[in-house]
Chain A
Amino acid sequence: MPTNQNRISGQKSDLPVLRFLRWVFFLLLFLAIGIPYAWAENPVVKVGVYENAPKVFTNESGKSSGIFIDIIEYIAKSEGWKLEYVPGTWAEGLDRLERGEIDLMPDVALTAEREKKFSFHKIQVLSSWFQAYARKGSGLQSILDLNGKRIAILEQSVQEEAFIRFSRGFGLNVTLVSVPDYKTMFEMVARGDADAAVTNQFYGAMHARKYDLVDTAVVFEPSALFFAAPKNASPELLDAIDRHLSILKKDTRSAYYAILKRWTSEEVRFKFPAWLQIVFLIVGVVLLTSLAGSFVLKRQVNARTFELKKINREMEERIIDRTAELALAMEKAQAADRIKSAFLATMSHELRTPLNSIIGFTGILLQRLGGPLNEEQEKQLKMVYNSAKHLLNLINDVLDISKIEAGQLNVASETFNLRDAVEKVIKTSQPLADNKGLKLSAEIAPEIGTIRSDRRRVEQILLNLLSNAIKFTEQGYVRMTCEVRSDKIVIAVSDSGIGIKPEDLGILFNAFQQIESGITRKYDGTGLGLSICKQLANLLGGKIEVESEWGRGSTFSLILPLEGEKA
């Protein structure tokens, strides 16, 4: 037996001197650290256990448990005791306690007889009473119904004595069957070996259903339950228990009440069959798995949603950025357009101003307004004059094509006499035709009168077509016809010139292209004329058509809508 145990039990096999020294040591320790009782470090406390669930019992895994065990473990933990359980029956436990082999026996009802044999602490752990349990439909209602019955009862128990006293008081004749534990007792009743079992209400409430037993109205002997210690044990152990119980019982939220609730609540009273537990386990596992699965799925969905939202946000940001970029680019383009327009206007003005002088002065000199000219002077001045005119035409062409490309060439819609316009361009072109000895004529149908279009642009197109015809005709004629065909006005310029090869018709209206006709650079021009004419005609809601035979001549037709621009 370890020395620690001896100290607790206070049972002596040591020398008196040593005992004295030990006491001094304990006293010093007590004074030094202020704990009320001077226990050595982790003293071992031996506790007897027996089967009386839920108060005290050994569970499936072989561990001692129950209300008393939980309470003593709680106390032991705070006191620093080391518990050692000694299993056995109720009677064995009491015997061991009497012999001092164990330090504590739980669940002992206090009786006068027991007080002689054992030591008890003062605050009761539980109050209990005894109750008879019987098979369902046994008809046992009151104490009187127990007459002549076989009653199972725990041997050496308080209830045994009490029941004997109790039954005698009612003059009952009962056969008592002493059994070592409550389990055997309930089994006997369930088998029919006994009619009723007398047990405490804790055990009955927990186990009756399992054995298909019911409680009867036979209730007797309320009792107070304690931990019991050997008679001669030192008071430290029991005092410690009292100290804890007094604190624990004051507070309804304490461990004590939690323990009671745990062991007396409905859930622990009924034990599910093993197969049901397995089913529950499987269902639980399946549920948990699916729960985990759905959790994982939810997380994934959330993650994807988050990702999508992020992408969406990024896209939106990008769109905003791009829109801003586009707006900026557009602004720049518009600014560039404005600059281009301003440049065109300025160039138009700046190029024309010097030409104004050149053309103007050579013009008046040629008109002899400045005085007489000799033949050589006139010839040279005519060259200057023609070159200046040509330069002016080039400038006008370049400005026109620039304006068209910038989308800035707009056409007017005005009412004017087409006959007058045609006659004017013929008159203007007459000198050119005369110079080359060509016959220039115009046939204007009688129905031609006023139309709605842009007079200046119509004249520009016709002048261009006429000058082209004259330019590419070496001999013969240039003829203009003007007539109404269905709802169109057709102004055709025909010549007896070099004509156009079929393969060249396609590129005829392209800007900057003058068809190489074997007489390279014989014909002046930028090659812009027809391109401008075509685009102007389109702007006027009309078009230009061409028919030609190589070496025989060409016919260019300006076709305009009768009622002006239809755009």
Chain B
Amino acid sequence: MKGNILVIEDNEQNLYLVRFILEKNGYQVHAAMDGKTGIDMAVQLKPDLILLDIQLPVMDGYAVARNLRANPQISGIPIVAVTSHAMFGDRDKAMEVGCNGYIEKPINPDTFMEEVELHLLKQ
């Protein structure tokens, strides 16, 4: 087992796709379908990396990232934003709230693992 990755994503197909790729590449995947559950699971599991969708119901990804960064127990876990938001400022905003990386949807299956592992290695 290479490591634990928490995926916070509300779209089932996307979740399935990411989970499939990660698991095929040897990672253990934990999934949360909303921000609140994601934060609880992050505190509980202390994963090696968090893949965070920005477009989430109730509490959006930015709020989740701020919340995660505000908690000293888990503030060290790298967060990579995965979003189909492609408007100007999305990337900056994600970095601003404490994300370490930014992967634009649709994900590129050829390069996705490279980008994810880049942040795992940094840790």
Contacts and interface: CB of A to CB of B under 8 A. Distances in A.
B93 interface: no
B11 A353 contact: yes
B119 to A, nearest CB: 18
A452 to B, nearest CB: 16
Interface string B1-20: 00000000001011001001
Contacts of B110: 363, 367
A388 B21 CA distance: 19
B24 A357 contact: no
Given A345-B87, A396-B86, 16 more contacts: A341-B87, A345-B85, A348-B85, A348-B87, A353-B11, A356-B105, A356-B106, A357-B13, A357-B106, A364-B20, A364-B24, A367-B109, A403-B88, A408-B87, A412-B92, A456-B91
B17 A360 contact: yes
B84 interface: yes
B17 A356 contact: yes
B107 A356 contact: yes
B86 A399 contact: yes
B55 interface: yes
B86 A364 contact: no
Q: On chain B, which size bracket covers the interface?
A: 20 to 34
Contacts of A367: 109-110
Contacts of A396: 86
B109 A359 contact: yes
A369 B105 contact: no
A352 interface: yes
B17 A361 contact: yes
Interface of B: 11, 13-14, 17, 20-21, 24, 55, 84-89, 91-92, 105-110
**Closest A-B pairs by Cβ, 8 of them:** A363-B109, A356-B106, A352-B84, A360-B17, A355-B106, A369-B24, A356-B105, A359-B106
Given A369-B21, A409-B88, A352 B55 contact: no
A364 B17 contact: yes
A358 B86 CA distance: 18
10 contacts: A349-B84, A349-B86, A352-B106, A353-B14, A360-B106, A364-B24, A399-B86, A403-B87, A412-B92, A456-B91
Interface residues of A, number: 30
A403 B92 CA distance: 17
Interface of A: 341, 344-345, 348-349, 352-353, 355-361, 363-364, 366-367, 369-370, 388, 392, 396, 399, 403, 408-410, 412, 456
Contacts of B109: 359-360, 363-364, 366-367
Contacts of A360: 14, 17, 21, 106-107, 109
A377 to B, nearest CB: 16
B103 to A, nearest CB: 11
A348 B84 contact: yes
A62 B88 CA distance: 110
A370 B105 CA distance: 21
Nearest to B12: A357
Nearest to A359: B106
Contacts of A410: 88-89
Nearest to B105: A356
Contacts of A409: 88
Contacts of A403: 87-88
B105 A352 contact: yes
Contacts of A408: 87-88
A387 B74 CA distance: 42
Give the most central of A349, A367, A399: most B CB within 10 Å: A349
A410 B90 CA distance: 12
B108 A359 contact: yes
A412 B89 CA distance: 9
A78 B92 CA distance: 110
Contacts of B86: 348-349, 352, 396, 399
Contacts of B11: 353
* Most chain B beta-carbon neighbours within 10 Å: one of A341, A359, A410: A359
A364 B84 contact: no
A363 B108 contact: yes
Contacts of A355: 106
A364 B110 CA distance: 8
B20 to A, nearest CB: 6
A367 B110 CA distance: 8
A349 B107 contact: no
Nearest to B82: A356
B80 to A, nearest CB: 15
Contacts of A348: 84-87
B17 A357 contact: yes
Nearest to A358: B106
B121 to A, nearest CB: 17
A401 B21 CA distance: 33
A356 B91 CA distance: 18
Nearest to A399: B86
B20 A369 contact: yes
